[in-house]
Homo-oligomer: A and B are copies of this chain.
Amino acid sequence: MHKKNYGHQRGGICGEYCKKKTIKFIKGFSLPSYGLWLYKIHPSCWSSAYILGLMCMPGLSAYVGFIEICSPKKGEYVFVSSASGAVGQIAGQFAKLMGCYVVGSAGSDEKVDLLKNKLGFDDAFNYKKEHDLDAALKRYFMDGIDIYFDNVGGKMLDAVLLNMRQHGRIAACGMISQYDLEQSEGIHNLMNLILKNNRMEGFVVTNYFHLYPQFLDLTLPYIKEGKMVYIEDVVEGLESGPSALIKLFAGQTVGKQVIHVSNE
């Protein structure tokens, strides 16, 4: 990719910005000094699944939302929506690594299968097949939910609020079900935050770059030991961008959506 104004050379990968000092372990890495959301890496060092996924924005987002905001304890019940997505799949793996019981929701049977058989979730369900999300959650969490990693907002969030346990935590990472609505759906069950002493906290990952070293300290050993995996949905060529974006919002992407612009 050629971005002369940003000091890049052909052959780099377009990705997310992370502070230089925190990713010095990546051989061949060079970072623009002005902190934009583009950087160049040597493509032979690490696959894009690590550079764009596990070790960068999605990984840090999962860390911030799940570890930093929700402070998980072993044995807690965790629910992740959009669980096979870029961030959700990492949040769910963190949950398992922390000794939690984790269930994910996704929008196809193929994704549910991935969650259960590749990403290590204890259970998963296809929310599109559920007419009553409250009933579905009660089926998977008979004793309620301690931690909800929210990527979707809307009706799922409203149903989760009915199923949270005392002192539960909700990390609001995204609300993709609401992004293309003229007016977002109303959330009716917030009273449960009070009754159950729940905390709901939103975050934008760019506010948490200072936690990147801690994130790496936790994550790198797992990656090196092969205890974390990452699923991408790679399309070829910049011309595939618009259709990839439409797929993303239609819930047809499996894993993180990546556009492979060029090898040069």
Chain A residues in the interface with B (C-beta under 8 A): 153, 157, 166-167, 172-175, 178, 183-204, 207
When chains A and B are docked, how far (Å) is the Cα of A203 from the Cα of B193? Answer: 7
B194 near A203: Cβ-Cβ < 8 Å: yes
Contacts of A186 in B (CB 8 A): 185-188
Name 7 interchain pairs, CB-CB below 8 A, sorted by A. A175-B191, A175-B194, A186-B186, A186-B187, A193-B200, A193-B201, A195-B202
Contacts of A189 in B (CB 8 A): 184
Closest to A183 in B: B188
Chain B nearest CB, measured from A148 CB (Å)? 13
Contacts of A184 in B (CB 8 A): 188-191
Closest to A206 in B: B197
Query: How many protomers of this protein does the assembly include?
Result: 2
When chains A and B are docked, how far (Å) is the Cα of A201 from the Cα of B190? Answer: 10
When chains A and B are docked, how far (Å) is the Cα of A183 from the Cα of B203? Answer: 29
Given A153-B190, A186-B185, A191-B178: A199 and B196 interface contact (C-beta under 8 Å): no
B194 near A202: Cβ-Cβ < 8 Å: yes
Chain B nearest CB, measured from A84 CB (Å)? 21
Contacts of A207 in B (CB 8 A): 166-167, 197
Query: Which 7 interchain pairs have the tightest Cβ spacing?
Result: A186-B186, A193-B202, A194-B202, A199-B201, A187-B187, A200-B200, A184-B188
Contacts of A187 in B (CB 8 A): 186-188, 190
